[in-house]
């Protein structure tokens, strides 16, 4: 298929996203105020607790079977690779740009967590319905494409709320603790041997990964057995991690969809026009259909803060953009093509395209929700999201075109 034709197929979905995003931005303007701050919070809750779980659960229940789960086992591994490679590249960005400490968790999150659900849920159906799509019949493409994307969204939500959520939470807590200690030290009189009480080695641990590392050990601590150290570190990690956040509504919807789809007895009772509870499936599908346009409008409205500007370093933004749209997609091609050669991925062009697309997406919008929740880097996150999603119109289109050419 001609490259120009593939480019046209890839560009229309992104244009649709831009149009809805622009409408959301317009509705959030102060003069319009339909999607003001309070309205966005309410609609976000509606999407988070109702629309997204309905969309993920209904699509997985309809398309996922035991046989397909066996065939799709590589997708969780692929998503894990996106987080690992993105985190490594984000750490490099932090070492090069030297951002303020309160932005380290935000940078790691933006580099590691892509928009694995909302954006592909718009792109994949639009590509399937376009004339000249390399993925065959539009109905079959839509059915299986939504199953792949729903699975991607569910797995991505688990990694996002288990890894990025806790990285940003621990990072913000560390800054708060340092602020409290600094305030306390200013109020207390300093000892005469003040210079001898300082430890420059500890002060040098200013990168994001230092928040997960133990402090330097004393001689007594060094004598503790390795087993006791492992138990101690495990208790620290367990106490710091918010495991309840892993089971977000989308994850619960995915679990329900898996159970319904994989167990034949339940599937026959719910899925299909002759099923006894077919009305439940129709109701969930109706709710799920509202998720995509609502999410896109909210995404546009949330970008309004980025237009107002902030003191975010230009090189920090450039580093994140380079990771998300240049380095990570290139590494993704190597990972997916290597998996194909090793026989780890089925020879399905649409499935391979979704795996590749997971490396070329802008940062997850939920990162902005986390920044707002912890009160750390909220304005900086808005600017990063503004530039990331503005450039997504070019980057995602070009990479989608290349990926379709690669798998077709």
Torsion, Cα of 46, 47, 50, 51 (10° steps): 140
> Residue 346 corresponds to which tokens in the numbers above?
């089925």
Residue 358 has pLDDT above 90, yes or no: yes
- SS3 readout for the chain: CCHHHHHHHHHHHHHHHHHHHHHHHHHCCCCCCCCCHHHHHHHHHHHHHHHHHHHHHHHHHHHCCHHHHHHCCHHHHHHHHHHHHHHHHHHHHHHHHCCCHHHHHHHHHHHHCECCCHHHHHHHHHHHHCCCCCCCCHHHHHHHHHHHHHHHHHHHHHHHHHHHHHHHHHHHHHHHHHHHHHHHHHHCCCCCCHHHHCCHHHHCCCCHHHHHCCCCCCHHHHCCCHHHHHHHHHHHHHHHCCHHHHCCHHHHHHHHHHHHHHCHHHHHHHCCCCCCCHHHHHHHHHHHHCHHHHHHHHHHHHCHHHHCCCCCCHHHHHHHHHHHHHHHHHHHHHHHHHHHHCCCCCCCHHHHHHHHHCCCCCECCHHHHHHHHHCCCHHHHHHHHHHHHHHHHHHHHHHHHHHHHHHC
Residue 22, CA distances (Å) to 16, 28, 120, 298 in order: 10, 10, 18, 10
Residue 29 has pLDDT above 50, yes or no: yes
Buried b (16+ CB within 10 A) or exposed e, 200-215: eeeeeeeebeebeeee
Average the pLDDT over each of 41-45, 131-135, 187-191, 353-357 and give the range with the smallest value: 187-191
Residue 185 has pLDDT above 70, yes or no: no
85-97 tens-digit pLDDT: 999 999 999 999 8
Reported as a pLDDT band with limits 50, 70 and 90, residue 112 is very high
Q: Residue 251: what pLDDT?
A: 74
Closest C-alpha to 111, from 373, 312, 337, 318: 318
Residue 189 has pLDDT above 60, yes or no: no
Residue 248 has pLDDT above 80, yes or no: no
Q: How far apart are the C-alpha atoms of 333 and 311, rounded to whole Å?
A: 35
Average the pLDDT over each of 183-187, 234-238, 376-380 and give the range with the smallest value: 183-187
Read off the pLDDT of each residue in 335-364 and give the average, rounded to a whole number.
Answer: 91
Provide the CA 93 distance to its chain's centre, in angstroms: 18
Q: Residue 208: what pLDDT?
A: 42
Q: How far apart are the C-alpha atoms of 299 and 57, rounded to whole Å?
A: 22
More reliable by pLDDT, 234 or 84 = 84
- Mean pLDDT, all residues of the chain: 78
Closest C-alpha to 364, from 135, 160, 185: 160
The pTM for the full model equals: 0.74
Reported as a pLDDT band with limits 50, 70 and 90, residue 338 is very high
Q: Residue 103: what pLDDT?
A: 82
Residue 142 has pLDDT above 80, yes or no: yes
More reliable by pLDDT, 199 or 168 = 168
Percent of the chain scoring above 70 in pLDDT: 78
Read off the pLDDT of each residue in 278-282 and give the average, rounded to a whole number.
Answer: 87
Residue 407 has pLDDT above 60, yes or no: yes
Residue 191 has pLDDT above 60, yes or no: no
Q: Residue 111: what pLDDT?
A: 93
Reported as a pLDDT band with limits 50, 70 and 90, residue 41 is confident
**Residue 274 class from Cβ within 10 Å (0-12 exposed, 13-18 middle, 19+ buried)?**
exposed
Residue 225 has pLDDT above 50, yes or no: yes
Q: Can you give the length of the chain in residues?
A: 408
Q: Residue 324: what pLDDT?
A: 94
Read off the pLDDT of each residue in 276-303 and give the average, rounded to a whole number.
Answer: 84
Torsion, Cα of 333, 295, 305, 19 (10° steps): 80
More reliable by pLDDT, 323 or 72 = 323
Residue 242 has pLDDT above 70, yes or no: no
């Amino acid at each position: 298929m001609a490259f120009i034709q593939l480019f046209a197929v890839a560009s229309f979905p992104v244009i649709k996203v831009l149009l809805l995003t622009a409408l959301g931005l317009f509705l959030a303007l102060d003069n319009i105020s339909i999607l003001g701050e309070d309205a966005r919070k309410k609609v976000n809750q509606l999407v988070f607790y109702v629309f997204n779980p309905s969309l993920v659960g209904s699509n997985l229940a309809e398309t996922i079977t035991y046989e397909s789960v066996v065939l799709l086992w590589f997708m969780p591994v692929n998503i894990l690779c996106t987080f690992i490679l993105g985190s490594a590249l984000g750490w490099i960005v932090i070492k090069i740009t030297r951002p303020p400490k309160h932005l380290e968790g935000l940078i790691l999150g933006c580099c590691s967590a892509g928009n694995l659900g909302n954006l592909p849920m718009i792109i994949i159906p639009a590509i399937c319905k376009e004339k000249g799509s390399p993925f065959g019949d539009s109905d079959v493409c839509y059915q299986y494409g939504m199953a792949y994307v729903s699975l991607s969204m569910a797995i991505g939500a688990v990694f996002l709320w288990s890894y990025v959520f806790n990285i940003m939470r621990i990072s913000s807590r560390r800054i708060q603790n340092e602020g409290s200690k600094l305030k306390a030290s200013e109020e207390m009189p300093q000892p005469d041997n003040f210079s001898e009480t300082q430890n420059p080695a500890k002060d040098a641990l200013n990168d994001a990964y230092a928040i997960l590392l133990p402090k330097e050990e004393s001689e007594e601590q060094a004598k503790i057995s390795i087993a006791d150290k492992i138990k101690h570190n495990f208790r620290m990690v367990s106490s710091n991690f918010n495991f309840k956040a892993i089971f977000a509504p989308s994850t619960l919807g995915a679990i329900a969809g898996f159970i319904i789809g994989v167990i034949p007895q339940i599937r026959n009772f719910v899925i299909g026009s002759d099923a006894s509870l077919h009305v439940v499936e129709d109701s969930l599908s109706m709710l799920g259909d509202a998720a995509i346009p609502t999410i896109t409008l909210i995404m546009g409205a949330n970008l309004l803060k980025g237009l107002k500007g902030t003191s975010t370093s230009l090189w920090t933004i450039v580093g994140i953009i380079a990771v998300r749209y240049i380095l990570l997609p290139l590494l993704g091609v190597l990972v997916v093509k290597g998996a194909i050669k090793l026989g780890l991925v089925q020879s399905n062009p649409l499935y391979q395209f979704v795996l590749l697309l997971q490396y070329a997406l802008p940062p997850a919008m939920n990162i902005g929700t986390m920044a707002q929740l912890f009160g750390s880097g909220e304005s900086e996150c808005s600017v990063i999201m503004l530039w990331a999603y503005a450039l997504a119109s070019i980057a995602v289109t070009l990479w989608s075109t290349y990926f379709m050419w690669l798998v077709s």
